[in-house]
């Protein structure tokens, strides 16, 4: 990686300007539509007492023409008449940086602190509010990282998972890069870690989760096996505080979680309510979606498992990896044995003197193609093929049209039709790519199976592949 994730990211300070009111004031980074509550949401430091400039954000922000609404408040949280100032969403400051400011017509010292509510950093005409895009922008444009620091596949999948989410918040002080990532992802039930290639992995927990699993763990390879399943992590009702006010350091909105509670779990275990604080969430629809995911995932007790792996054949596993666990003494909620159960590595400690690797893992709640599989977890081959066909039809690329165009092109270039067909057939045969092999490969690559070495067990009803 080009950055150290444990390194402190330091915000700009007002001391970089020639005439600030208070030189130690932080210059905030603002993302998303920062709304909610009835007051100013963060203070705007005075960066120029001569021209009466007050900083909104240490970057450009979405313009009013593209939908940004600016409301400015005085020290008593009274709205200041817009006739007394101009909003400049892209101001080039005395250091050549592009920032957003309030330009007052008169000195506002008597009204300080000046505060505001509005939208934050933009990408052209669009607001940056997908939480994964917020993280990517923070790493690459503020923290000194590069796009190559991310695992590209995990990043793209997380962006898609978060497509309907709206993040909004501020970075307001000096702290480690990793702490900022954790704070943002916590509000959207996500995780991050650095993989063995030194890439930043971002994963969001969703209801219909798909996992890029690494390999398998078998009972015969495990020693000192301990598994616990108590109710300390159980949550069947997720209460949430959100809409954080950075000026008053308080949450201004909340939901008790009753509409997303799981009644069956509460009948069995009683009400197990947890109050969560989503500092980067200000959108009620997003809050409800995350509450639903948390309850769905935590409504039943979770297996926490530790063991020593004694063959060293799984030395390549890293923290955060998803693997399949096969063990005859563990059962799920339907009393099925753990067969190809998806688990995640939480910790790994290698002891080469004793030829053991100590693992701690957490159950993710589903099995890979278990014989008692749930329809939502199954990706069958016909569905994959149907999607591919649909995609081609939607793109208006018919097979006959493709062949016709290829033949016409070849004929135009001086080849006979027979020669063209022969060359295309010979090329395909030489590459050894049959249609059936394509369909098989595409389906199983989508499914996480194709690159796996060894047998994949599909349960008693399916046998081995």
Query: How many CA atoms are closer than 13 Å to the CA of 366, on its beta-carbon side?
Result: 19
What 3-state class would DSSP assign to 296?
helix
Give the pLDDT score at 382. 45
Q: Does pLDDT of 462 surpass 50?
A: no
Round the average pLDDT of the chain to a whole number and report it.
82
Average pLDDT on 458-464 reads 37
Residue 135 lies in a domain: no
Q: Dig out the tokens for 2 from the structure.
A: 């080009």
Percent of the chain clearing pLDDT 90 (strictly above) = 55
Q: Does pLDDT of 76 surpass 60?
A: yes
Which residue range forms the structural domain that includes residue 262? 237-298
Residue 174 lies in a domain: no
Average pLDDT on 340-344 reads 86
Give the pLDDT score at 211. 65
pLDDT in tens, 4-13: 999 999 999 9
Do 366 and 331 reside in the same domain of the chain?
yes
Residue 250 lies in a domain: yes
Q: Does pLDDT of 384 surpass 90?
A: no
Do 247 and 357 reside in the same domain of the chain?
no
Do 270 and 353 reside in the same domain of the chain?
no
Q: In which band, very low, low, confident or very high, does the pLDDT at 423 lie, cut at 50, 70 and 90?
A: low
Do 338 and 224 reside in the same domain of the chain?
yes
DSSP string, 414-446: T--HHHHHHHHHHHHHHHT--HHHHHHHHHHHH
Domain count, the chain: 4
Do 32 and 93 reside in the same domain of the chain?
yes
Do 224 and 256 reside in the same domain of the chain?
no
Do 348 and 427 reside in the same domain of the chain?
no
Do 339 and 282 reside in the same domain of the chain?
no
Q: Does pLDDT of 331 surpass 90?
A: no
Give the pLDDT score at 220. 81
Which comes out higher in pLDDT, residue 459 or 412?
412
Average pLDDT on 400-414 reads 49
Residue 253 lies in a domain: yes
Q: Cis link prior to 113 (omega < 30° from 0)?
A: yes
Closest CA to 234 of 188, 288, 185, 271: 271
Give the pLDDT score at 463. 36
Average pLDDT on 196-207 reads 88
How far is Cα 181 from Cα 192, in angstroms, rounded to an integer?
8
Q: In which band, very low, low, confident or very high, does the pLDDT at 238 lie, cut at 50, 70 and 90?
A: very high
Q: Does pLDDT of 464 surpass 70?
A: no
How far is Cα 400 from Cα 421, in angstroms, rounded to an integer?
13
Give the pLDDT score at 196. 79
Strand (E) or helix (H) holding 383 = helix 381-394
Give the pLDDT score at 405. 55
Residue 427 lies in a domain: yes
Give the pLDDT score at 180. 96
In sequence order, what are the residues at sequence separation of 6 or more whose Cβ sits closer than 8 angstroms to the Cβ of residue 193?
200, 201, 319, 320
Query: How many CA atoms are closer than 13 Å to the CA of 317, on its beta-carbon side?
Result: 30
């Amino acid at each position: 990686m080009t950055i150290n994730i444990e390194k402190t990211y330091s915000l700009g300070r007002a001391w970089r300007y020639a005439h600030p009111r208070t030189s130690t004031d932080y210059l905030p980074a603002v993302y998303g539509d920062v709304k909610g509550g009835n007051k100013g949401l963060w203070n705007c430091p005075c960066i120029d007492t001569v021209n009466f400039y007050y900083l909104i954000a240490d970057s450009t922000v979405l313009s009013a023409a593209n939908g940004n609404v600016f409301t400015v408040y005085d020290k008593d949280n009274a709205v200041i008449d817009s006739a007394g100032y101009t909003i400049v969403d892209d101001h080039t400051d005395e250091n050549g940086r592009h920032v957003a400011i309030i330009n007052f017509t008169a000195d506002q010292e008597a009204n300080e602190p000046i505060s505001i509510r509005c939208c934050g950093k933009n990408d052209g005409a669009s607001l940056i509010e997908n939480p994964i895009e917020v993280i990517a922008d923070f790493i690459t444009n503020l923290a000194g990282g590069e796009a190559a620091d991310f695992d590209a596949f995990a990043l793209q999948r997380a962006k898609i998972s978060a497509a309907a989410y709206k993040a909004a918040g501020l970075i307001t002080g000096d702290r480690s890069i990793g702490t900022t990532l954790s704070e943002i992802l916590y509000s959207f039930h996500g995780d991050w870690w650095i993989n063995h290639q030194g890439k930043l992995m971002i994963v969001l927990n969703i209801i219909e989760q798909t996992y890029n699993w690494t390999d398998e763990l078998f009972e015969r390879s495990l020693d000192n096996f301990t598994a616990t399943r108590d109710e300390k992590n159980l949550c069947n009702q997720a209460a949430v505080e959100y809409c954080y006010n950075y000026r008053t350091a308080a949450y201004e909105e909340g939901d008790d979680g009753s509409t997303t509670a799981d009644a069956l779990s509460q009948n069995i275990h009683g009400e197990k309510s947890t109050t969560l604080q989503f500092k980067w969430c200000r959108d009620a629809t997003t809050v409800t979606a995350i509450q639903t995911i948390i309850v769905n995932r935590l409504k039943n007790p979770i297996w926490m498992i530790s063991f020593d792996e004694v063959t060293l054949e799984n030395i390549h596993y890293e923290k955060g990896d998803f693997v399949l666990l096969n063990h005859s003494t563990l059962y799920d909620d339907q009393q099925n044995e753990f067969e190809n159960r998806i688990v995640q590595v939480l910790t790994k400690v290698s002891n080469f003197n004793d030829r053991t690797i100590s693992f701690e893992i957490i159950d993710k709640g589903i099995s890979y193609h278990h014989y008692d599989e749930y329809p939502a977890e199954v990706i069958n081959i016909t569905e994959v093929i149907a999607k591919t066909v649909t995609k081609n039809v939607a793109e208006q690329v018919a097979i006959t049209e493709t062949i016709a165009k290829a033949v016409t092109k070849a004929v135009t270039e001086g080849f006979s039709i027979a020669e063209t067909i022969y060359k295309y057939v010979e090329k395909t045969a030489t590459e050894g790519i049959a249609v059936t092999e394509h369909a098989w490969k595409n389906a199983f690559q989508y499914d996480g199976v194709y690159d796996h070495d060894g047998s994949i067990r599909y349960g008693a009803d399916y046998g081995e592949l």
